[in-house]
Amino acid sequence: MSSVATQTAAALSRGTADLGKTAAKVSAFGYPPAVIAFWRTQVRRALKGGAATPFYLFSAQPVAAAMAQLTALDLGRPAVHWLSTKTQPLPALLLWWRNQGRPAEVVSEAEFRLVQAAGFTTDSILVNGPAKQRWLGPFSSPGLRVNFDSLRELDSLLPWAKRDRWRVGLRLCTAEEFDPESPQFPTQFGLTPSEALLAVRRLKRAGLPVETLHFHLRTQVASADCYRRALDELAAFANAAGLSPRHLDIGGGLPSRNALSRGGKRLDAGISMAAFALTVRQAVKQFPSVEEVWLENGRFVSAGSGVLVVRVLDVKERRGLRQLICDGGRTLNALVSVWEQHELLPLRAGGGPEVLTAVHGPTCMAFDQLARKPLARSIRPGQPLLWFDAGAYHLPWETRFSHGLAEVWWHEDSRLARVRAAESPMLSAA
C-alpha cells in the first residue's frame, strides 16, 4: 500500500477523539488532509471517466472504517449490525454489505424489494417501521424477523405471523423519544407500556414468543445518557411483563462525525464511542437472557461515505455577498443542508483570498442554498465543488424539481464505476 493510501485508511478509521488531538491538521469539520485528498482523487478519476455534474460519488472504504470503530466496541454481548437501508438505499452498497456477511434492516415495501433483489435471505432481513400492515403480509415467509410497532399492526399481521412462525419483537416508545423540533411532544413510533403488555398477551396466545425488545431514539443522539434512560425503561418493562428477550435492538442514532448544526456546533460534541459502549455494557446486565445486541446506525455508518459534486454555472455579487449558481444544490440533492452544515470545498486546492460566498443550486427557489461560507474569490464558472458527508439521506431525499435525478458513482477497492445514469428531465416528467 502506498504511503498516501496508508494515511487515508488511517484517517478514515480514526475516531473523533483522535481527531481532536490533531485539530491543527484537520479542516473545521474534522476532516484530515488525507481524507480530503482521497475524495479529490476519486472525483478527478470520475470526471476523467466521463462523470457529468451533478453527481454523487460513494465509496465502501469509509463504511468499512466506520464499521471497524463499531465492531471494536465492547457492548457486553455479541453485537449484530444491521444496515439501515432507508439511510442509503444504494444497490452497490447493499451488495457490498451482504458480501461482508452482514444483515439489513428495512422499513418499507420498496426497501424490502431492494434487499431481496440484492440477495439477502429471510434470516438476514429485519422489518421495522410503522403501518407495516399496509404491505408486509404478501411478503410473509417462514421465520421472517419483524418488530411490531402498534396493536393494529399486530392484529392485522397476526395471521401471517402465526402461519409462518415469524420471529417477533416489540418496539417501545420510551420517554426519550420526542420530536426534536418540539420536545414536549412524543414521536409517533412504538407501543406505550400498556399497549405493549396487551401485545405480549396476544402474541403469547398465538404461540409466538417475544424475542426482541426494540427502541430507536432518533437521529443525531446528543448524549449516551439518552440511551441509558431508554434502556432502563426497557428493563422495567421486561420485568413487568415477565419477558426474557433474546435480542436487545437499540436502533441507531449515533451522530455524524464531521457535520455541524446550523449554529456551528459539532453534532457529536456531547457523545463519545467509549461513553456509548460503557452505557450499553452496563445496561445489558439488566437483561440476563439477552444473547445479542442489535444496532442499526445509519448516519454514523454511511454519512461520510460520499460526496456530492456540483459545477459552478454562474457567479453574481450583490450587497457584500458572492453567489455561485451551480448545477446541483439543496432542492435537488442535499435536503439535509436545511439543518446541517457540511464541508464544502473546490476540487482544486488553494485559490487565494476568501470572501463570504453563498452556494446555490439551479432551481428557481430562494430555498436552494447549499451553503454560505468563506470561499476563494478565484472560483469561476466551470469549476467543480465537493459537498462532503453526502452518504446519509441524500439519495432517498433527492428530488426531481424541474430536473432529473443525478448520476451516481461507486468506489470499491480500486474500482470506480457509474452505477446510475443521470435521468433525463423529459423521462422524469413522463
Each residue's pLDDT tens digit, 265-317: 998 999 999 999 999 999 999 999 999 999 999 999 999 999 999 999 999 99
For the record, the C-alpha cell of 194 comes out as 400498556
Q: Which of 122, 153, 128 is nearest to 140 (CA)?
A: 122
Cis peptide before 54 (omega within 30 of 0): yes
Please spell the DSSP secondary structure of 102-129, one letter per residue.
--EEE-SHHHHHHHHHTT--GGGEEE-S
Average pLDDT over residues 224-235: 96
Average pLDDT over residues 37-62: 98
pLDDT tens by residue, 66-121: 999 999 999 999 999 999 999 999 999 999 999 999 999 999 999 999 999 999 99
The confidence score (pLDDT) of residue 29 equals 84
AA identity, residue 51 = A
Please spell the DSSP secondary structure of 401-420, one letter per residue.
TTSPPPEEEEEETTEEEEEE
pLDDT at 394 over 70: yes
Average pLDDT over residues 327-340: 97
Residue 20: Cβ-neighbour burial (10 angstroms; 0-12, 13-18, 19+): exposed
Please spell the DSSP secondary structure of 187-226, one letter per residue.
-S-SB-HHHHHHHHHHHHHTT--EEEEE----SS---HHH
Domains of the chain are 3-59+304-429 (2.40.37.10), 63-301 (3.20.20.10)
Q: How far apart are CA 110 and CA 216, in angstroms?
A: 21
The confidence score (pLDDT) of residue 12 equals 58
Beta-sheet pairing, 125-127 with 145-148 = parallel
Average pLDDT over residues 358-384: 97
Q: How far apart are CA 105 and CA 244, in angstroms?
A: 23
Report yes or no: 213 and 273 within 8 Å, Cβ to Cβ: no
Return the DSSP state at 172: B
Model confidence at 430, pLDDT cuts 50, 70, 90, reads low
In percent, how much of the chain has pLDDT > 70? 93
pLDDT tens by residue, 108-163: 999 999 999 999 999 999 999 999 999 999 999 999 999 999 999 999 999 999 99
Q: What is the mean pLDDT of the chain?
A: 92
Q: How far apart are CA 193 and CA 233, in angstroms?
A: 9
Per DSSP, the three-state class of 238 is helix
Lowest mean pLDDT among 13-17, 87-91, 179-183, 245-249: 13-17
Please spell the DSSP secondary structure of 302-315, one letter per residue.
HGGGEEEEEEEEEE
Cis peptide before 33 (omega within 30 of 0): no
The confidence score (pLDDT) of residue 126 equals 98
Dihedral of the alpha carbons of 20, 25, 28, 32, in degrees to the nearest 10: -90
pLDDT at 28 over 90: no
Model confidence at 350, pLDDT cuts 50, 70, 90, reads confident
Read off φ and ψ for residue 216, nearest 5 degrees: -140, 110
pLDDT at 218 over 90: no
Q: Is the sign of the CA dihedral 223, 229, 234, 239 positive or negative?
A: positive
Interacting residues of 50 by C-beta distance below 8 A, sequence separation 6+ = 418
